[in-house]
Copies of this chain bind each other. A is one copy, B any other.
Amino acid sequence: MPNVTLDDVAEKAGVSRATVSRVVNEYPHVSEKVRSHVLKIIDEIGYNPHIAARSLASQRTRNIGLVVPNSMHNFFTDPYFPRLTEGIALACNEHDYTLSLFIFHTPELEKKLIPRLTRGGLVDGIIVQATGLDDNILSKISQGGVPFVVAGRPLNLPNASYIDVDNVTGAYNAVTHLTRVGRKCIGTVTGSLDGAVGLDRLEGYTRALQDRNIPIDEQLIANGDFTEISGYYATRQLLANNTALDAVFVASDTMATGALQALQEASKVVPNDVAVIGYDDLPPARLAKPALTTVRQPVRRFGINAMEMLIDIIENGDTPPRHVILGTELVVRASCGGV
């Protein structure tokens, strides 16, 4: 299979290489006669453009990179990410882009790959998963010449274009719901507090209570890190410190699964003794016993929008920075009791 080139087509069709290129790229100003003839030849001899050659000549790859920092250790275990990737992949297909995955398993990989990624010739743009405060990957990427958007609010690079979910309001609504169904002693299990997601959901919790004139009690706040086991221990801690505890807002479904476990072991009946609300509305929420009331976020839509924002920036430049915040929806199930 000797690869068929533009020249082969040109020769066979009796036209110039430039003309074939125009036909392939659907330029105007090609006579219908020539166009259809060239297309016939292309079909006949099975021509396909050589992507690398095209990238070199046009200085565009039509490839985008999804970057996952090494601090994002749960990329492959949290059901959130496949959904996000799906959205991005959908939008890529839709807009004729190709998607490459850059998983920085180690800091060394970051060092090696980021310069290569931001140099050009590899990707036209980057979607990078937001990181905690201690990760400087974003600033490194922003120093390169390649357009990028951040998936999640970038605490340490607020001027970057990003897309986020309204975590504050999502949490606010969840906690408000708990007050509405009559809960008095509402605790929370937070996510990691070195990133916007965890911080924002905590803020939603405190604001909701403040708006009801309920004082914030430090004893009712226990820290988790988005893993199931952390949800378990944080909940045990809440139970130990608050005998009157009758509700917990847990900052992720995965942690909520751990919370349910802890409550069960403490012989607390959910929702009768303690109501539980999670966050994400991913499969674990439905599978839980009892099924979790939770805050649904439009993860796939999030991915699609991230990609569309990136394309916009690739085509129109990144000033001013774009900021998009998506809304959430409270999904009421068994774990928080009736109204």
A residues apposed to B, CB below 8 Å:
1, 3, 46, 48-56, 61, 63, 75-77, 79, 81-83, 85-86, 89-90, 93, 98-103, 105, 109, 115-116, 119-122, 144-145, 257, 283-284, 287-289
16 inter-chain pairs at a CB distance below 8 angstroms, sorted by A residue, are A48-B116, A49-B119, A50-B120, A50-B121, A51-B116, A53-B56, A53-B121, A54-B121, A63-B100, A77-B79, A89-B103, A90-B105, A93-B103, A98-B102, A98-B122, A99-B103
Stoichiometry (number of copies): 2
Find chain B residues with CB under 8 A from A77 CB: 79, 82, 283
> Does B101 contact A100, Cβ atoms closer than 8 Å?
yes
> Does B121 contact A52, Cβ atoms closer than 8 Å?
yes
| Separation of A75 and B120 alpha carbons in the complex (Å) | 30
| Separation of A209 and B54 alpha carbons in the complex (Å) | 59
| Separation of A79 and B83 alpha carbons in the complex (Å) | 11
Closest to A56 in B: B52
**Neighbour of A1 across the interface among B82, B145, B283, CB < 8 A:** B145
Find chain B residues with CB under 8 A from A48 CB: 115-116, 119
| Separation of A89 and B49 alpha carbons in the complex (Å) | 27
With contacts A51-B116, A76-B86, A121-B51 taken as known, whether A100 is within 8 angstroms of B103 at the C-beta atoms is: no
> Does A3 contact B120, Cβ atoms closer than 8 Å?
yes
